[in-house]
Structure 1
Amino acid sequence: MNNTVLSSEVQAFIRQHVHDDASRIALNKSPFEHVSSPELAQQIHGLQKVSRKVPDWIEQSKALYFPEKLNLEQCSSAGTAKFKASLLSPNSTVFDLTGGFGVDSYYFAQRAKKVTHCEITPELSQIVAHNLNALGVDNVQCHAGDGVAFLASSNNHYDYIYIDPSRRVKNQKVFRLEDCEPNILAYQELFFQHSDKLITKLAPLLDISGALNALPHVKDVYVMSIENDCKELLFVQEKSFQGIPNIHAVRLSAEEPKIFSFNYIQEKEAAPALSEPTNFLYDPDVAITKAGAFKSVATAFGIQKLHQHSHLYASKTLVAEFPGRIFQVRQVVPFSVFKKNIDITKANIVAKNFPLKVEDIRKKFKIKDGGDDYLYFTMLYDDRLMVVYGRRIVRACQPR
């Protein structure tokens, strides 16, 4: 960590060039004797990244230090970190086993009494300690070292252990629990010796059912999305819990989080009616589909599925609270008819449970992307291929 980067002159340069191409800055001559061009580029890239992911930090105009790109890749966004902090009991103690850039620890500290941040890379731990101090956080203790080793040599007990295992090992992305670092499956007994509650952040691509089979005492699973983009999976384990896990599809926005909760027994037993497209078409948020609430969401909102595997829904009257996009249906035509009578040159295209991919449909029918019209290419309950033409209904306070 080069402390000269924190000087007022260097900080002014970094903010002045925040909209510049960091890679070009790295190739230019540095105007500072003790700060190299690659170091300036690293700080500018970091400021750009954190401005998007954690704008709260940038708005405070503090002299922050940003680590290498890799350390910023896996760090949480403000939205997901705030939600995780909301799951903590007030005035609790938290052990952040794999602290990284410290975004989660920062938001934990807003609610917890004390947070212990462990980071195996000494320089990154030093950076986190500086940034938290600059941001006025005084209830986070930073420890440079292996979090697992720290626990193994400690008698401390915490209200929560938070784990964000690295999903990049030897420069390769990994998705299986046993391939992450640390291998959390190997240390479950150790973790539960030091806390009754574990909170683990995992990759959006992880198979939820597989993780439930591998991890003991899972009480809750949170699938978090922002603007229909799945960001994180969160597994909450309680030492004494033996029941059926609750699954929560969480849509984060500037407003209050919107949560749809169910369990897999309810999903298995749900039997929604099947229907052709009627007046309104519903396309669920990615948090709903990743969570696996394919039938539960239909029965909960009193709407019908178009096909067992299409995961599109319909209703005659508007269900404005549906967790996803809603379209007013203008026209429904068989795909065979659509092929013969095409007069649409521009539209947003979605293909669900359909033999052609979106790019194939665009190429085949020469339809450009964009505009206000939506074309859903899908299969109905009797396996007929259909095209649904609709206009999106944008609700108040709903992210576009």
Structure 2
Amino acid sequence: MINQATLDFIRQHQDDDVRKLAFLGSKYPDVDMPFALDQIRGRKMARVKLPRWAEIDGIIYPPHISMEQCSSEQTAQYKAELAARLLGLGVLTSADAEKSKDADNSKICEFAGEREVASKFARNEDTSEKQQILTNAVDNVNEIKEETSEGSFSDEIEFVDLTGGFGVDFSYIAARLGVKSMYVERQAHLCETAKENFERLGLKNAIVKNGDGVEVLHTITSDQTRSLLKTSHRLKLIFIDPARRDDAGNKVVSLQDCTPDVTQLQDEMLAKADYVIIKLSPMLDWHRAVSELSHVREVHIVSVNNECKELLLVLSAQEEAPLRVFCVNDDQHFGFYDSHEAAVSIVKADEVDGYLYEPNASLMKAGCFGDICQHYGVKMLAKNSHLFSSQELVADFPGRTFRINTISSFNKKELKRQLAGIVKANVAIRNFPLSVPELRKRLKLKDGGDNYIFATTLSDESHVLIIGTK
């Protein structure tokens, strides 16, 4: 129970420097200082990462490390729209997003739900009606009439999150689906936090279960005498986010090293749910992950601000279909089938001109360079350079676009002539023997400005500097 002194302290110091507040413990003996500092720090982070949560009074935030690791509002909404599309619900359009004050994230959400997937579940207007949670701030949290409850499964539950954590992903998915859902988490204090927060958010039909997700999975059975579900129908969706750190806190990159090991659970999950969404580290090799699992139907590589944040795998045993890969970076998106490998078009070294393209982080992670060439009509500078060019502008290329002003060899005289008047530039390397600091030192250029220099290797193995502007 949080005492009034702690609540008052949080309210009075919500915008203050947490590092300075940490030294005031002796001055406020009645204040639970560690908890208060977590709340002040957490809300500051939420203003950027979870802005709708930050607008709601009474949200309880976890320690700093958990706030850093939790999903952002943007990626959580993406998963919610993905889940809705899998279950046959309507796509949240830009118009819907505008009504819900969510226009900023509408593009990424539309892409998550754009591909029709066969589903035997028709939309149930009684349960899938759009929820208020997270699309509009709760006007009065004290008016909540239906509380989240602890307990066992009921015959209405259709979505289960086996690794609840802070509850961000669960809250968005459950709200978007509008079905009775269960949040499962091993740590009791996170369960208490989740229960409080779900009530503050206005999330109804959410059951909070303190327990091990794997053990809960085992209890889902069609045997009426043993099942907590108490029904023979399958779940619609299971979501699982295995821990990606070992006991020593080190990050792991193998699917089998994650906890729990989804390679051992996949058959059971697919036997008990129509769809399974697995959230993985962007550090994992998605080709290897797909090979270690069965019935992977979709791969989603999700980036925010050109930083790869999540790797999502969709599993389903209901239908056989070619693997579809979705590459998302904010409002940039590209999809391709992994059933074939498109040929990469290489531009001749003496024909590089016009425009230069740098694929976004999701495309780089996907490695779909042949598909990029085929779809956008661009050519790659060299096999391992991962930069593209075209004579005419490709306005919708998913990445950064530059107008090529000049190309220079590493001949000293030519470099001096081509760099004349440039005192600072944004320098990047692709398939090049020098590092950025080494190159910048050699060129004697400061960082920044309007000029961009890409040091790379062309198809004839020559090393060049491509100088351009956005």
Taking structure 2 as the reference length, the TM-score comes to: 0.77
- Return the match for 1:294 from 363, 369, 378: 369
2:335 aligned residue: 261
1:137 & 1:6 partners in 2: Cα distance? 28
Task: Tell which deviates more after alignment, 308-317 or 166-175.
Answer: 166-175
**Letter paired with 1:136:** G
1:397 aligned residue: none
2:433 aligned residue: 355
Within the alignment, does 1:65 sit opposite 2:65 as a pair? no
2:444 aligned residue: 366
**Letter paired with 1:297:** I
CA contact (8 A) 1:6 1:64 kept: no
Within the alignment, does 1:210 sit opposite 2:284 as a pair? no
Task: Tell which deviates more after alignment, 227-236 or 109-118.
Answer: 109-118
Within the alignment, does 1:201 sit opposite 2:274 as a pair? no
CA contact (8 A) 1:6 1:65 kept: no
- Return the match for 2:402 from 327, 331, 338: 327
1:23 Cα shift?
3.3
CA contact (8 A) 1:11 1:63 kept: no
1:30 & 1:165 partners in 2: Cα distance? 40
CA contact (8 A) 1:25 1:38 kept: no
2:216 & 2:339 partners in 1: Cα distance? 39
- Return the match for 1:80 from 64, 75, 80: 75
Task: Tell which deviates more after alignment, 235-244 or 375-384.
Answer: 235-244
2:94 aligned residue: none
1:27 Cα shift?
2.8
2:210 aligned residue: 144
1:202 & 1:241 partners in 2: Cα distance? 23
2:23 & 2:463 partners in 1: Cα distance? 54
2:36 aligned residue: 40
**Letter paired with 1:238:** S
User: Secondary structure of the residue that 2:424 maps to in structure 1?
Assistant: coil
**Letter paired with 2:387:** L
1:87 Cα shift?
1.3
1:304 Cα shift?
1.3
User: Secondary structure of the residue that 1:172 maps to in structure 2?
Assistant: coil
Equivalences for 1:202-351 in 2 at 5 Å?
A: 202-252=280-330, 257-266=331-340, 268-275=341-348, 276-337=351-412, 339=415, 341=417, 342-343=419-420, 344-351=422-429
2:201 & 2:77 partners in 1: Cα distance? 16
- Return the match for 2:167 from 99, 102, 112: 102
1:269 Cα shift?
3.1
2:310 & 2:4 partners in 1: Cα distance? 32
CA contact (8 A) 2:10 2:39 kept: no
CA contact (8 A) 2:10 2:40 kept: no
> 1:84 and 1:360, CA in 2 relative to 1: closer, same or farther beyond 3 A?
same
User: Secondary structure of the residue that 1:175 maps to in structure 2?
Assistant: coil
CA contact (8 A) 1:25 1:40 kept: no
Within the alignment, does 1:9 sit opposite 2:8 as a pair? yes
Within the alignment, does 1:115 sit opposite 2:181 as a pair? yes
**Letter paired with 1:122:** A
> 1:183 and 1:73, CA in 2 relative to 1: closer, same or farther beyond 3 A?
farther
**Letter paired with 2:70:** C
1:250 & 1:363 partners in 2: Cα distance? 35
Within the alignment, does 1:169 sit opposite 2:246 as a pair? yes
Task: Tell which deviates more after alignment, 111-120 or 5-14.
Answer: 5-14
1:291 Cα shift?
1.1
> 1:38 and 1:6, CA in 2 relative to 1: closer, same or farther beyond 3 A?
same
1:293 Cα shift?
1.3
CA contact (8 A) 1:219 1:245 kept: yes
Task: Tell which deviates more after alignment, 218-227 or 8-17.
Answer: 8-17
Within the alignment, does 1:55 sit opposite 2:132 as a pair? no
Task: Tell which deviates more after alignment, 224-233 or 342-351.
Answer: 342-351
CA contact (8 A) 1:333 1:386 kept: yes
Find runs of 4+ consecutive structure 1 residues off by over 4 angstroms.
Answer: 5-8, 337-342
Count of matched residue positions in the alignment of Structure 1 and Structure 2: 382
CA contact (8 A) 1:347 1:367 kept: yes
Within the alignment, does 1:184 sit opposite 2:255 as a pair? no
- Return the match for 1:29 from 25, 29, 34: 25
Taking structure 1 as the reference length, the TM-score comes to: 0.90
1:336 Cα shift?
2.7
1:398 aligned residue: none
Superposed CA offset, 1:315-373 (max 9, x none): 11111010011111111111235555554321000100111111211122222110110
User: Secondary structure of the residue that 1:80 maps to in structure 2?
Assistant: helix
> 1:273 and 1:5, CA in 2 relative to 1: closer, same or farther beyond 3 A?
farther
User: Percent of pairs identical after alignment?
Assistant: 34
User: Secondary structure of the residue that 1:111 maps to in structure 2?
Assistant: helix
